[in-house]
Chain A
């Protein structure tokens, strides 16, 4: 018989962080064979992988080098890795991009077409029809993906504050880590309302979409950017930009976009477009 040894979770996390540092330093020491494509954990990792893996596959073929899709357990972890410049390419929200710029990333494209706006959704059978401080029942529960989710959390909170709803005072706030978790929380009645954005709603199963209703949409902001680290050769960055902006022109590119849920693809973007984005 042997005694089972359980490591405390804190020790595991400490070890994990140490391991990550070791991995990063080891990776930095070697010739980078892989480009690491970091995606903000807007949804569950598997769902994000389903969306972005066809894109990374297309990037591999264009760059003739492997591209690794990665995300993070949460927004904070993602941004810590961005700060440590662990990713070569990043996809994140406009607000977080303004912080990423400070750590050496610059935008090359943004999602085309659909305005970047947050939405508030309730169950279709919910009595809540519109937003107004006096109309909301007391003790209402609202779910967000992450405190740093720009459209889903920050923009929707700003939208509600502008309408006299003091979110922290009038509502019970709960964070679920990802967009689809917040949407599933509404679907299952764990919260009465959720802040999210349209691409996430469209990526949900049909029955979930049909069971939910959008009751408000925030004013638009610059779309979700894709940025590259400043040490990436300009020619490679150009190839990536070229690939992304021409996805709509080929059937394989359109297939990639279908997985992403961005029907109109990407357009070229510049840093100054995000100058006005403020928390």
Chain B
């Protein structure tokens, strides 16, 4: 059975894997890492190539400009010496036809422009001294070349070249570079995505299987065909789950055995407790019957024996009724209902109880916020038992505070009295059957409450101090 099938089969019964934000997934991080590395590397390489290409384009223009001005100087030397303006004009006219040339001038040693691509300049004297240097302005490259014969300057050639084409080429080269980087980023991201799919696909399979195990399904196995580390992990995972399943079955078996043993022990203990509880009244009944069997029994003793007989037989009846109540607790039928009304109802009954004459019962409950899922009859029994216990713990009178307080997703119930309290020696076993701190108690009230609450998925919590008071509390899930 494949894992996917398992997922479908148990989808409704088992907890779903927690949803991760996409940005926290391993897949996203892998894609981001690979894409970034790809982009950085490609960006570096492409930018380096663009830089070199740009440098080459720039160098080409400079080289062309220098070659042109050198040729211009050579071509115009004789004509400059001879002041052959026609030939010089021919030189500048030819130069003007070269690409990117915006201006060319030939100037004699005095600074007089003898030829220029700009005819208006011819005949004028340049105001600025011409030196052999290269200058670069906005969109133009200006070069000067001295014409020298026998070591002496006889004139200067000036060349202005437009760098617009250069700039356009550089811009185009830069744009191409950026496009390449973008393309590399896209390709890298796609490649990283595919790679991450291959890597994380099996991890997701494993994660789904782990969640099924977390839900208690130990029959899950993963079927990974990968031959890499993840494949090995899948194999180890299956072995682990098999081992876990085997151990779980062993634990369950041990638990059942232990439960059976505890149950038998409990039955024995319960039987002993019942025998102990009924032995004293039964002995009293037997002794009273024996006394009544005497013919010479005085009337007063006879009356006393009959009274004992009545009292103890009633006690035996109460013990047996409580025990039957304890033994016949039915399955809980949970409904959503208001607990405040229930508490008030029971509080009203308890206030009328003869033992509660000197006890002040105070209830605090917000009906709009205290709705829980519970079995109303059973919860009424629990509340009654707990209130009655508190009242019986205050024979000289006192106060009983009953509170139902919403606390998040639960409603907390507490019953606090300022009675005699429970000795520490009894506190940890006070909820067991037939364990009681009162002389005439059966020791089944708290046991019944504990059993009912356990059927509701909760239990009693008891805090008590002798001669100070006791607080008994429990929680129920809010509706």
Contact = CB atoms under 8 A, between A and B. Distances in A.
Interface of A: 4, 6-7, 9, 12-13, 15-17, 19-20, 22-23, 26-27, 30, 33-34, 41, 44-46, 48-50, 53-54, 56-57, 66, 68-73, 77, 81, 259
Interface stretch (B104-112, B171-179, B181-189, B237-245): B104-112
A41 B79 CA distance: 12
A44 B93 contact: no
Interface stretch (B36-44, B61-69, B83-91): B83-91
Can you list the 5 inter-chain pairs with the closest CB atoms, starting with the nearest? A16-B85, A22-B123, A45-B81, A19-B122, A45-B78
Nearest to B89: A12
Interface residues of B, number: 32
Contact of B93 (A7, A46, A49): A7
A73 B82 contact: yes
B166 interface: no
Contact of A20 (B78, B85, B90, B110): B85
A53 B87 contact: no
A26 B89 CA distance: 19
23 contacts: A12-B89, A15-B85, A19-B85, A19-B115, A22-B123, A23-B122, A27-B112, A44-B78, A45-B78, A45-B80, A45-B81, A48-B81, A49-B149, A49-B150, A53-B150, A53-B151, A54-B150, A68-B110, A69-B81, A71-B81, A71-B82, A73-B87, A77-B82
A12 B90 contact: yes
B119 interface: yes
Contacts of B79: 45, 73
A53 B86 contact: no
Contact of B108 (A9, A26, A54, A68): A68
Nearest to A52: B150
A15 B119 CA distance: 8
Contact of A33 (B110, B123, B152): B110
A12 B83 contact: no
A70 B80 CA distance: 8
A26 B123 contact: yes
Given A7-B93, A34-B110, A46 B85 contact: no
Contacts of B81: 45-46, 48-49, 69-71
Contacts of B152: 53, 56-57
Given A45-B82, A53-B154, A68-B109, 20 more contacts: A7-B89, A12-B89, A12-B90, A13-B86, A15-B85, A15-B89, A17-B85, A19-B85, A19-B115, A19-B123, A20-B123, A22-B123, A45-B77, A49-B81, A49-B150, A53-B151, A66-B109, A69-B81, A69-B154, A72-B83
B201 interface: no
A20 B115 CA distance: 10
Nearest to A19: B122
Nearest to B99: A2
A84 to B, nearest CB: 12
Interface string B147-167: 001111010000000000000
A6 B89 CA distance: 11
B122 A9 contact: no
B252 interface: no
Nearest to A71: B82
B121 to A, nearest CB: 10
B93 A12 contact: yes
A26 B85 contact: no
A58 B80 CA distance: 21
Contacts of B246: none
Given A16-B85, A22-B122, A45-B77, A4 B97 contact: yes
A15 B115 CA distance: 10
B340 to A, nearest CB: 96
Contacts of A48: 81
A117 B460 CA distance: 146
A16 B89 contact: yes
Contacts of B110: 27, 33-34, 66, 68
Interface string B113-153: 01100010011110000000000000000000000011110
Nearest to A7: B93
A73 B82 CA distance: 5
Contacts of A69: 81, 154
By CB atoms of chain A within 10 A, which of B81, B108, B152 has the most?
Answer: B81
Contacts of A45: 77-82
Given A4-B97, A16-B88, A23-B114, A50 B149 contact: yes
B78 A46 contact: yes
A70 B125 contact: no
A253 B77 CA distance: 26
Contact of B123 (A23, A53, A259): A23
B86 A9 contact: yes
Nearest to A81: B83
A69 B81 CA distance: 7
